[in-house]
Amino acid sequence: MKHAGTVVLGLVGVALVVGVLGYRTGCDPALHAAADRRDVTAWLKRDFHLSDAQVAAIERLHREYATVCEGHCLAIGAAQRERDELRRAPAAAAAALAAAEQRIRELSTECETSLLRHLERVAAEMPAAEGRRYLELMRARVATFGHAGAPELDLKDPHAEHGH
Amino acid sequence: MKPNEPLIQNLQVWRVSPPPDSRFRGEVWRRIDALRGAGSWAGFVRAHAAGLAAAVVLTAGLSGWIGHTAAQVHVRADRDTLLAGYVASLDARIQTGLDEESP
Q: What is the pLDDT of residue B43?
A: 78
Nearest to B100 among A18, A62, A149 (CB): A149
Q: What is the pLDDT of residues B49-75, one digit of tens each?
A: 899 999 999 999 999 999 999 999 999
Q: Give the pLDDT of residue A163.
A: 47
Residues B13-25: tens digit of each pLDDT = 888 888 888 888 8
Residue A156 DSSP class: S
Q: Report the 3 state secondary structure along B15-75.
A: CCCCCCCCCHHHHHHHHHHHHHHHCCHHHHHHHCHHHHHHHHHHHHHHHHHHHHHHHHHHH
How many CB atoms neighbour CB A163 within 10 A? Answer: 19
Q: What is the Cα Rg of chain A in Å?
A: 24
CB distance from A38 to chain B under 8 Å?
A: yes
- Which chain A residues are Cβ-neighbours of B84 within 8 angstroms? 141, 148, 150-151, 153
Average pLDDT, rounded, for chain B:
86
DSSP codes, A68-98: HHHHHHHHHHHHHHHHHHHHHSTT--HHHHH
- Sequence-ordered list of residues with C-beta below 8 angstroms from that of A115, at least 6 positions apart, any chain: A69, A142, B90, B91, B92
Nearest CA in chain A to B100: A146
Let me know how long chain A is: 164
Higher per-residue confidence, A132 vs B5: A132
| Eight-class DSSP state of A150 | P
C-beta atoms of B79 and A27 within 8 A: no
Q: CB–CB of B93/B99 below 8 Å?
A: yes
**pLDDT tens-digit profile, chain A (164 residues):** 668 888 999 999 999 999 999 999 999 898 999 999 889 999 999 999 999 999 999 999 999 999 999 999 999 999 999 998 888 877 767 888 889 899 999 999 999 999 999 999 999 999 999 999 999 999 988 887 765 443 333 323 333 344 44
Q: How far is CA A95 from CA A72, A84, B31, in A?
A: 24, 14, 102
Tell me whether residues B56 and A11 touch, CB distance under 8 A.
Answer: yes
Looking at residue A14, its pLDDT comes to: 95
CA A61 to chain centre: 17
